[in-house]
Structure 1
């Protein structure tokens, strides 16, 4: 169950007419009606102000949940750049989950402000991913590429250099949504030898990357083919194979045609993929091939008895 934040810590609480309920849905403070974004063609500036207020409110609310509910720490990388990490994330010997969102207005902890506003935090935020990490005793690093004015590629490089590359984790899992996938492949293009030993699996969620237009090379493409999966928009049910000669890695249906919904819809499938990569392979059970001659001999012996 999601918790409401303390209103005294967020100055927008008294100005913004909506607030999140305990189950993570945005409701009007007085009428309890669900949030509805109104786009007014005759008032573009007013519409822009409402959009800005909504994004800022959701961002601050989720930031507060990250720190208070999940006890994540805000780690500053540059002047206006920061990420959230679990305490002792770099010294954690087990698994490390790295989340990279799409480009745009979404900040740390949020996949989509639209889904967060209209369908709730369980659909639009990264909180369900954090809950899984908590249950699996997995450390977390949540990137924040849309904060601070830097490019998404620069942010991903910076987080890898300052944090992930120094991690003691035995297994690093990466979830990359939209343009976040392109930025991660860009990182691979420059630091493939350093990344290969650390990253166990990559989940691309309706990713913008291209293994044919980004200079990854054959070694990098072969590595991704065996260490990644891509969930793409499709009319097929979730997890159905969606073949493509240019895919470069296994492609499966995301079970939705909505880009913003992919992280929520595919979440359980992503976790099963991660778990399978570190699960010990079963030792094949030896068996004897029964030939026709052996079978005939066995029948004769039975008749003698």
Structure 2
């Protein structure tokens, strides 16, 4: 007799807050502390009981990450959520400082693989606290310098049954994909073409950590003219991007307008060799065994570079276009025409756009060929 295999019933997804678990972030030093004892979290809280230590650690990851959103919004930063694609359907949020999209200088922060928006890494967030594990100190420093800041959320690509966004790493039940944000690359492309490209900022600098470097570099690859005119530079932190299939104009812009902070125990800003990234590579000064501490150890150097990008003269896009072959010139020239066109009369409100590209009536459509840029 054939017996059907028993299908396991998925356990219900139970959300717990940090306070329910007995922990909270101390906003003075950023440490995660036990509410009852006041002691900072330590992985070995249960001594030699490895199972309990692991269970507590795992239970804290998602609630701690969601707490970062609360701090971004409710702390002195007063960041405002923007629903992507919009609040009328399943969505995730990105976060902008007050009036950030209206400032002349805008810093866009994109975190790497798997984590919630605003979190560099789960392990450093829980074990080391907000200063090492989140973008909060980066945002605060940029605000103090008068820059607007936009924090993207490339990894919350699905919505759980209770309507809240989740990452694929933290949720395994039934879910709904977030339209135009089903992958990190699609999310970054969507926010670029829907929000950043048409915002008031005259100069944009990206800070891209780890796998985020790939998604940001795709903007340069597929929308070169508009990206190079709008963007003053990219600060890569331990990025895993490469220059594969970049044309000559993009390669030259990358060399002139970007820098990579490589995970290395050499003193910060020491030159290191990395032929893959296509730009000057320097050490992040991370002498620890934890690779994810790189954003903290190189923070001052990265922020100084961001200011340098804003101060220098814009890269000559026309000069770079001349470096390409004839086929590249035609494609990039079409993009450049779109940039110089008068868009005031035909651009609708961002949340009412039917197409991600902004195309003047009668203009020839540039072929971005990038998922998420055309519906």
Pick the TM interval, shorter chain.
Answer: 0.7 to 0.9
Q: How far, CA to CA, are the matches of 1:36 and 1:91 in structure 2? A: 42
Q: How far, CA to CA, are the matches of 1:86 and 1:123 in structure 2? A: 20
Q: How far, CA to CA, are the matches of 1:102 and 1:246 in structure 2? A: 18
- Residue 59 of structure 1, CA deviation: 2.2
1:100 equivalent in structure 2: 110
Structure 2 counterpart of 1:86, from 87, 94, 97: 97
1:256 equivalent in structure 2: 286
Where 2:298 maps in the other structure, the secondary structure is helix
Q: How far, CA to CA, are the matches of 1:241 and 1:52 in structure 2? A: 37
Q: How far, CA to CA, are the matches of 1:11 and 1:73 in structure 2? A: 24
On the 8 A contact 2:241/2:277 being kept in 1, the answer is no
1:20 equivalent in structure 2: 25
Give the greater-gyration-radius structure (CA).
1
Deviates more, 1:134-143 or 1:50-59: 50-59
2:187 equivalent in structure 1: 155
Deviations 1:215-263 (A, max 9, x none): 2211111101000000112231110111344441101111116431111
- Aligned pair in 2 of structure 1 residues 278, 188: CA closer, same or farther (>3 Å)? closer
Q: How far, CA to CA, are the matches of 1:274 and 1:14 in structure 2? A: 36
Is residue 2:187 matched to residue 1:181? no
Runs of 4+ in 1 over 4 A off after TM superposition: 38-44, 49-52
Structure 2 counterpart of 1:112, from 88, 102, 121: 121
Deviations 1:76-95 (A, max 9, x none): 11322221112333222x21
TM-score normalised by length of structure 1:
0.80
On the 8 A contact 2:241/2:276 being kept in 1, the answer is no
Where 2:265 maps in the other structure, the secondary structure is coil
On the 8 A contact 1:36/1:118 being kept in 2, the answer is yes
Which aligned pairs between 1:38-49 and structure 2 lie closer than 5 A? 47=54
Is residue 2:78 matched to residue 1:71? yes
Q: How far, CA to CA, are the matches of 1:246 and 1:178 in structure 2? A: 14
Instruction: Structure 2: state its 5+ residue gaps.
Output: 1-14, 159-181, 314-375
Is residue 2:146 matched to residue 1:140? no
- Aligned pair in 2 of structure 1 residues 221, 34: CA closer, same or farther (>3 Å)? same
Structure 1 counterpart of 2:268, from 226, 230, 238: 238
Q: How far, CA to CA, are the matches of 1:172 and 1:128 in structure 2? A: 19
On the 8 A contact 2:235/2:260 being kept in 1, the answer is yes
- Residue 30 of structure 1, CA deviation: 1.8
On the 8 A contact 2:30/2:129 being kept in 1, the answer is yes
Where 2:84 maps in the other structure, the secondary structure is strand
Q: How far, CA to CA, are the matches of 1:126 and 1:14 in structure 2? A: 22
Aligned residues: 266
Q: How far, CA to CA, are the matches of 2:18 and 2:253 in structure 1? A: 48
Where 1:196 maps in the other structure, the secondary structure is helix
Q: CA RMSD in A?
A: 2.4
- Aligned pair in 2 of structure 1 residues 90, 20: CA closer, same or farther (>3 Å)? closer
Deviates more, 1:122-131 or 1:52-61: 52-61
TM-score normalised by length of structure 2:
0.66
Q: How far, CA to CA, are the matches of 1:18 and 1:58 in structure 2? A: 9
- Residue 125 of structure 1, CA deviation: 1.0
On the 8 A contact 1:153/1:187 being kept in 2, the answer is no
